Chains A and B, each alone.
Chain A
Amino acid sequence: MRRFTWFNATSLTLGFAFLYMPMVILVIYSFNESKLVTVWAGFSTKWYGELMQNQAFLDAAWVTLKVGVAASTLATVLGTMAALVLVRAGRFPGRTLFSGMIYAPLVMPEVITGLSLLLLFISLGVDRGVFTIILAHTTFAMCYVSVVVSSRLVTFDQSLEEAALDLGCSAFTAFRLVTLPIIAPAVVSGWLLAFTLSLDDLVIASFTAGPSATTLPIKIFSAVRLGVSPEINALCTLMIAIVAIGVIGTSIGTKRAALRQKRDEQAAARATG
């Protein structure tokens, strides 16, 4: 028996108001006519128009997108491999160090990760730019991916893959045809997580970007330091909209896939029973 009281209802309402109110205000005021961000002067979409004219923002957005796609794809491959190692590889020399290196970046302050990578790139004499941001983002994002994927792999019944091997599949084919489809939802959410982490990151990108490459967060950060502007509000609104559509779309997609799988399983049970 649960007792949903007035107290519960109030704390939920206030709590979610606290979580969402700032973003709602930001979105509303991105449609404000006035240059003054706290005074409402009528509805207008002119800041979106100005944003589309702003070449610096567009360039930064393009760099961010390139870095995000490249880093999250690399991170997904490496993170999935790391998850397979963590769950399946058993004992090997340096295993403790390996799992330590997977979990440590999750709790490492960004300023330290950024500083250490910058010092590495400088001592190796690597020119900083898009490439170094991709390397940096891949490194911390792969750890998140491997945590997500390994939590799914633990529940995976390994005898399925063994059966495929017994039936003459090569190890890689068995992985591709049996394991991968089953862990696919975790791999996809790992990719999405890595992508949003990369889009979001300011600190590590600032350290590893060098003067030649600017990502959107770096651009927003330097603009925000000068104060609130309706143009930034418009940009933030667009980013919030893209994330909301993406998250809701994926959750609907995974729900449908789960339903389909359930139907297939039932059909298979009927056919065999």
Chain B
Amino acid sequence: MRKFALVSVPYFWLLILFLVPFLIVLKISLSDTALAIPPYTPTLDLAEGWAGIKAFFAGLDFENFTFLTEDPLYWKAYFSSLQIATISTTLALLVGFPIAYGMAQAPDEWRTTLMMLVILPFWTSFLIRVYAWIGILSTEGFLNQFLIWIGVIDTPLIIMNTKIAVYIGIVYTYLPFMILPIYAALEKLDNSLLEAAEDLGCTRTRAFWLLTVPLSRPGIIAGCFLVFIPALGEFVIPSLLGGSETLMIGKILWEEFFNNRDWPVASAVAVVLLAILIIPIILFQRNEQKQREAGK
């Protein structure tokens, strides 16, 4: 009885505020747009009993999904989201790995401080961290001022409102997600293996590629998914740094809902985004599971 109370409170909370809302999205994605409040039909009318339920199911169709395949805007947005997420993840790995590697090689007494320094930006507002880049990347921003001052360029670079700004924003905000799992993997690495390799005539570079990289692979994979998954549905970064040219699916969903007030299409966009995300999420879970089993 006590257990029932303990289970049921969080259970029902999540059912009502997580699962049911998602089913509503699914339902509205199969409905038609209407100029009413709420702006879609059919609405489920339980007062009419069985007839109402039948009318409800008869009104559902895949029109919105067909619409998504017909309008090139959506195709381009999905494709461009995947592209931006992939490139940003690669860049984050290239930036994050040397940092994690440096942390793992650092003297023991620095470790806690270094960890704290990586985690601290997590606690500061995401919005503030993205905002900070506007002043740096804009045409008369600090980066251009600095580059002109040291004489590398004569005319300011246009970075703001391009995809490059979005890459920088994603790498910057999600970098701790990349560093931490790689650091965790590298820290466990047994240095005597590297010494053995060198004793046997391996160069340090070869030992790095033959030992360090493969042994830290689970951390690298986890870090990549932790950057890729949130980057794919990102809204704040493309809308603040990407300008109107950068298409990302999170932004399209937002505009479809708030500007066009087309709820069924916004819902269909959400369903497709989730369908795309399922694959990396399952792969990520598999990787974690393997880690847990290997750890036992």
Chain A residues engaging chain B, CB cutoff 8 angstroms: 1-5, 7-9, 11-12, 15-16, 18-20, 22-23, 25-26, 29, 37-38, 78-79, 81-82, 84-85, 89, 92, 94, 97-98, 101-102, 104-105, 107-112, 115-117, 119-120, 122-123, 135-136, 138-139, 142, 146, 171, 196, 199-200, 202-203, 207, 217, 220-221, 224-225, 227-228, 232, 236, 239-240, 243-244, 246-247, 251
Chain A residues, CB < 8 A from B132: 22-23, 25-26, 236
Q: Which of B1-26 contact A (CB under 8 A)?
A: 2-3, 6-7, 9-11, 13-22, 24-25
Assess whether B20 is in contact with A120, with CB atoms less than 8 Å apart: yes
Task: Tell me the complex Cα distance, A136–B9, Å.
Answer: 16
Indicate the member of B16, B98, B102, B133 with the most A CB atoms within 10 Å: B102
B84 interface contact, C-beta 8 A = no
B18 partner, pick from A81, A105, A240, beta carbons under 8 A: A105
Residue among B14, B99, B123, B239 making CB contact with A139, cutoff 8 Å: B14
10 of the cross-chain contacts (CB-CB < 8 Å) are: A20-B117, A23-B132, A38-B135, A38-B140, A81-B9, A85-B10, A115-B25, A119-B21, A221-B240, A243-B124
Is A89 in contact with B273, judged by CB distance below 8 angstroms? no
Count A-B contacts at CB 8 Å.
227
Alpha-carbon distance between A119 and B31 when the two chains are bound, in angstroms: 13
Q: Is the Cβ of B125 less than 8 Å from the Cβ of A251?
A: no
Contact call B7/A115, Cβ cutoff below 8 A? no
Contacts of A85 in B (CB 8 A): 6-7, 10-11
Give me 16 other A-B pairs in contact (C-beta within 8 A), A1-B191, A110-B250, A111-B273 excluded: A2-B191, A7-B98, A11-B98, A15-B95, A18-B172, A19-B172, A19-B175, A25-B142, A98-B10, A101-B19, A120-B20, A200-B126, A202-B126, A203-B254, A227-B134, A236-B132
Determine how close the nearest CB of chain B comes to the CB of A117; give it in whole angstroms: 5
B101: interface (CB < 8 Å) = yes
The A-contacting residues of B in range 72-101, CB under 8 angstroms, are: 95, 98-99, 101
Q: Is B141 an interface residue (CB 8 A)?
A: yes
Q: What total of chain B residues lie within 8 Å of the partner, measured CB to CB?
A: 81
Cβ of B170 within 8 Å of any chain A Cβ, yes or no, is no
The closest CB in chain B to the CB of A4 belongs to B105
Chain B residues whose C-beta falls within 8 Å of the C-beta of A202 in the assembled complex: 126-127, 236
Cα distance, A119 to B20, chains bound together (Å)? 10
The list of the 9 closest CB pairs from A to B, nearest first, reads A109-B233, A116-B21, A11-B98, A15-B99, A22-B132, A8-B102, A120-B21, A82-B10, A12-B102
Q: Are B6 and A107 in contact (CB under 8 A)?
A: no
Residue B185, interface by CB 8 Å: no
- Closest residue to A93 on the B side, CB-wise? B7
Does B261 sit within 8 A of A, measured CB to CB? no
| Residues of chain A within 8 A of B95, CB atoms compared | 15, 18
Chain A proximity of B115: nearest CB distance (Å)? 11
- Residues of B contacting A26 with CB < 8 Å? 128, 131-132, 135
Min CB–CB distance B148 → chain A (angstroms): 12
Contact assessment for A112 and B25 in the assembled complex, using a CB-CB cutoff below 8 Å: yes
**Does B145 sit at the interface, judged by CB under 8 A?**
yes
Selected contact of A142 from candidates B10, B191, B263, CB within 8 Å: B10
